[in-house]
Structure 1
């Protein structure tokens, strides 16, 4: 069995533990002032893109590009969001949040690094004119470059 065929090093945890890990406390509320908060709110709104269309539009850099958000919902609404936010080394106002398939009965926490080949990346950006982070795009198993995100 190859190393990449092994299960990810994840242990089940409570939802409270996962919220504490993601947002600093079990009572913390996600908000669009952080990359993780924006990713979480956008992902949750995908559970019902018709009902939460206004929230999705307000959390997106280009709402018309999502064509109603149905395809994004089909891709990641049922996935699990990793708590880590990854940096773009060239631009501090571009961040990445990964989503994976996780079959646990509750929340899970990763206990060591592992290579992942099958994941989705939500790219979030912080426009100069806004205090909010906004969703730029969704990609399958790769991190868009600064040039792609900034259309350079």
Structure 2
């Protein structure tokens, strides 16, 4: 097998699926709606709220583990406005209460569905954590590019 110097892009096909139906399937464990009870639900709500930082400032503050770290959210909103959320939640090997949700640049209209696995070299990772409070609550810790922060950095 010949190796290419540049990795191939993630093979994504535009999907004709109903976005509401996809959301219901992704969040079936929480009644078909994204909630802060899951890492993906928290990431979804955060990404959605970034679409209008003025109207959803209170929601963004409630979703963030440390709201003051995000300033007014405008910079992160601009940085992520063209990105699409991926539905696979990545585990942190050293801490079960830290998860990562990837965002990628997807230029299609509407939903896309990956039909093969491929290495992702370009992505943003949203780190979500379950803080030390009772309940299944997840909060946004930070956003990194092309990698996952280690547990020592997140918990430090």
TM-score by length of structure 1 reads 0.91
Give the unaligned 5+ runs of structure 1.
none
User: Does the 8 A contact of 1:4 with 1:116 survive in 2?
Assistant: no
- For residues 2-151 of structure 1, what are the structure 2 equivalents within 5 Å? 2=4, 4-13=6-15, 14=17, 15-16=19-20, 18-24=22-28, 28-131=32-135, 132-151=137-156
Give the unaligned 5+ runs of structure 2.
none
TM-score by length of structure 2 reads 0.88
Say which is worse superposed, 104-113 or 116-125, in terms of deviation.
104-113
Paired with 1:123 and 1:108, the residues of 2 have a C-alpha distance of: 23
Q: How many residues align?
A: 150
How far residue 67 of structure 1 moved from its aligned partner, in angstroms, is: 0.4
Paired with 2:106 and 2:4, the residues of 1 have a C-alpha distance of: 20
Q: Secondary structure at the match of 1:47?
A: helix
Deviations 1:30-71 (A, max 9, x none): 000100000000000000111100000000010001001111
Q: Secondary structure at the match of 2:13?
A: strand
Paired with 1:3 and 1:130, the residues of 2 have a C-alpha distance of: 48
User: For the aligned residues, what is the CA RMSD?
Assistant: 1.9
